[in-house]
């Protein structure tokens, strides 16, 4: 029987132990590091006797026992087995996303909710819930206290806003009034109310957030807002102010932030969502919670896009950005505070040259629409 090393496999050290972690669907296994050497001899379908020749310096008997054990544990797969077939399917489907993305996805599947005594919709302040700082602030920074104007545009009917939202990559040079930026920041990021979680106060926003921990801070890189000098700022949501972090922000800076995407140069401002890891980790020690952080960023992104649209702005967002450039410019250590998502807005240009053309009959002809063909009579 020929064997091959499972493709879905990640090895690492954890707490001083060497761990081999198969995925999808496998448990992490603590092993002697020699397991890695044995596994590497099974890159392609290999007879264990052939592998023994390659691993001649290891004693034959213990090697054969180790190979059996690696097979039993699903780290070596038998040619033609159902496990091998499923591993090949995994390899094809996840392609270049493996191992980084596939490992995170599968290694965090099927995790029990941390506190099984509590229904999932209750925010608990259990023993593991260590203290954390509710608000990020830069007390020494220069600041602009923001106005709180009434914005009648926010009363635009929901369906009008929903269907008007589009990603806008062409912006005019018309400056965004400070009142508009202020209304956007307050609506998306400021506290709506405060709750008692048993241990401390937490706040809620207009977007849902895992455990109401609000681990995502908003940093604003301003280029074209009336009455505000270009620069990078932190939105202090407790005070409703902009705290100055660094002066100056050019179209080139905006483009460079956004992984050199040209459209970003025209945005009046960018908003960087940056995660304070400890705020979420201190309540949810399971690594699955990192997913929650990403989901939280998505919720805020959608609220940002809808609110910006209601205010007459053209929103955009990008998952592609230069993380370390952004972190450095904002003074984030990129360890405890790390950027996750970049949002942008400005007044939309009447002609959206960056927008894709609408699909036509010819487009659908080239498209595999799936489903069952309907026979015309
Ligand atoms: C998470 C996320 C990341 C995105 N990243 C980029 C990006 O890097 N560059 C870009 O031009 N558009 C980006 N977009 C915009 C999408 O391309 C856009 O939403 C999509 O084409 C659908 O168009 P719509 O937003 O007008 O509905 C991103 C959107 C989302 C939700």
Residue ranges of the domains in the chain?
Answer: 3-107, 143-346
pLDDT band for position 114 (50/70/90)?
low
Of 97, 31, 81, the C-alpha closest to 22 is 31
- According to the model, what pLDDT value does residue 17 have? 97
- Give the atom of ligand 1 at the shortest distance from the alpha carbon of 298: 1
CATH placement of domain 3-107: 3.90.930.60
Task: Look at residue 344 and tell me whether its pLDDT is greater than 70.
Answer: yes
Strand order across the beta sheet in which 29-31 lies: 9-14, 17-22, 29-31
Cα–Cα–Cα angle for 214, 216, 222, rounded to 5 degrees? 135
- According to the model, what pLDDT value does residue 377 have? 57
Task: Look at residue 149 and tell me whether its pLDDT is greater than 90.
Answer: no
- According to the model, what pLDDT value does residue 216 have? 98
Average pLDDT over residues 283-310: 97
- According to the model, what pLDDT value does residue 372 have? 72
- Give the atom of ligand 1 at the shortest distance from the alpha carbon of 305: 25
Contact 215, 121 (CB under 8 A): no
Percentage above 90 pLDDT, the chain: 86
Average pLDDT over residues 245-255: 98
Percentage above 70 pLDDT, the chain: 93
Residue 297 CA to ligand 1 center (angstroms) comes to: 14
Task: Look at residue 154 and tell me whether its pLDDT is greater than 90.
Answer: yes
Which tokens in the block code for residue 307? 């609110």
Say if ligand 1 is within 6 A of residue 317 CB. yes
- According to the model, what pLDDT value does residue 155 have? 93
Of 178, 191, 157, 202, the C-alpha closest to 309 is 157
Domains 3-107 and 143-346 are alike in CATH topology:
no
- According to the model, what pLDDT value does residue 113 have? 64
- According to the model, what pLDDT value does residue 299 have? 98
Contact 306, 162 (CB under 8 A): yes
Question: What value does the mean pLDDT of the chain take?
Answer: 93
Say if ligand 1 is within 6 A of residue 309 CB. no
Task: Look at residue 351 and tell me whether its pLDDT is greater than 90.
Answer: yes
Task: Look at residue 199 and tell me whether its pLDDT is greater than 90.
Answer: no
Say if ligand 1 is within 6 A of residue 337 CB. no
Say if ligand 1 is within 6 A of residue 291 CB. no
Q: Using the 8-state DSSP alphabet, how is residue 197 labeled?
A: -
Task: Look at residue 356 and tell me whether its pLDDT is greater than 80.
Answer: yes
Q: Using the 8-state DSSP alphabet, how is residue 284 labeled?
A: -
CA–CA gap between residue 215 and residue 337 (Å, rounded): 9
Residue 354 CA to ligand 1 center (angstroms) comes to: 12
Specify the residue with its C-alpha closest to ligand 1, atom 5: 318
Q: H helices then E strands: how many in the chain?
A: 12, 14
- According to the model, what pLDDT value does residue 59 have? 76
Say if ligand 1 is within 6 A of residue 320 CB. yes
Say if ligand 1 is within 6 A of residue 166 CB. yes
Average pLDDT over residues 228-250: 98
Say if ligand 1 is within 6 A of residue 167 CB. yes
- Give the atom of ligand 1 at the shortest distance from the alpha carbon of 355: 26
Percent of the chain that is helix, strand, coil (3-state, to 5): 35, 20, 45
Average pLDDT over residues 52-75: 89
Specify the residue with its C-alpha closest to ligand 1, atom 17: 167
- Give the atom of ligand 1 at the shortest distance from the alpha carbon of 301: 31
Give the dihedral sign, CA 73/76/79/80: positive
Specify the residue with its C-alpha closest to ligand 1, atom 27: 166
Residue among 319, 340, 341, 348 to mutate when testing ligand 1 (max atoms within 8 A of CB): 319
Average pLDDT over residues 85-103: 97
- According to the model, what pLDDT value does residue 29 have? 96
Say if ligand 1 is within 6 A of residue 294 CB. no
- According to the model, what pLDDT value does residue 266 have? 98
Lowest mean pLDDT among 95-99, 117-121, 173-177, 236-240: 117-121
Say if ligand 1 is within 6 A of residue 149 CB. no
Residue 167 CA to ligand 1 center (angstroms) comes to: 7
pLDDT band for position 279 (50/70/90)?
very high
Specify the residue with its C-alpha closest to ligand 1, atom 16: 167
Average pLDDT over residues 300-305: 98
pLDDT band for position 124 (50/70/90)?
very low
pLDDT band for position 322 (50/70/90)?
very high
CATH placement of domain 143-346: 3.40.109.10
- Give the atom of ligand 1 at the shortest distance from the alpha carbon of 316: 15
- According to the model, what pLDDT value does residue 150 have? 85
């Amino acid at each position: 029987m020929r064997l091959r090393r499972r493709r879905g496999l990640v090895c690492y050290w954890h707490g001083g132990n060497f761990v081999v972690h198969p995925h999808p669907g496998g448990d992490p296994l603590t092993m002697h590091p020699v397991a890695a050497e044995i596994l590497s001899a099974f890159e392609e379908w290999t007879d264990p006797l052939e592998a023994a020749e390659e691993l001649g310096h290891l004693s034959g008997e213990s090697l054969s026992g180790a190979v059996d054990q690696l097979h039993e544990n699903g780290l070596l797969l038998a040619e033609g087995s159902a496990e091998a077939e499923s591993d090949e399917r995994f390899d094809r489907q996840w392609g270049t996303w493996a191992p980084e993305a596939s490992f995170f996805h599968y290694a965090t599947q099927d995790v029990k909710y941390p506190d099984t005594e509590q229904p999932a919709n209750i925010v608990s302040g259990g023993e593991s819930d260590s203290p954390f700082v509710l608000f990020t602030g830069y007390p020494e920074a220069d600041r602009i206290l923001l106005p709180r104007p009434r914005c009648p545009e926010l009363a635009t009917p929901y369906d009008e806003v929903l269907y008007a939202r589009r990603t806008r990559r062409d912006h005019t040079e018309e400056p965004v009034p400070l009142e508009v930026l202020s209304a956007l920041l307050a609506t998306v990021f400021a506290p709506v109310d405060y709750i008692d979680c048993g241990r401390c106060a937490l706040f809620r926003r207009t977007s849902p957030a895992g455990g109401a921990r609000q681990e995502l801070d908003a940093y604003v890189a301003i280029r074209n807002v009336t009455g505000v000098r270009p620069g990078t700022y932190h939105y202090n949501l407790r005070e409703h102010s902009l705290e100055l972090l660094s002066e100056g922000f050019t179209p080139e800076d905006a483009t460079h932030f956004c992984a050199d995407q040209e459209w970003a140069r025209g945005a009046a401002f960018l908003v960087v969502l940056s995660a304070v890891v400890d705020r979420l980790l201190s309540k949810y020690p399971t690594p699955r919670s990192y997913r929650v952080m990403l989901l939280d960023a998505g919720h805020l992104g959608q609220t940002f896009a809808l609110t910006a649209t209601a205010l007459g702005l053209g929103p955009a967002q990008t998952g592609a950005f230069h993380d370390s450039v952004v972190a450095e410019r904002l003074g984030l250590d990129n360890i405890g505070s790390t950027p996750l998502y970049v949002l942008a807005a400005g007044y939309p240009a009447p002609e959206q040259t960056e927008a894709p053309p609408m699909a036509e009959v010819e487009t659908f002809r080239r498209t595999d629409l799936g489903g069952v063909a309907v026979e015309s009579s």
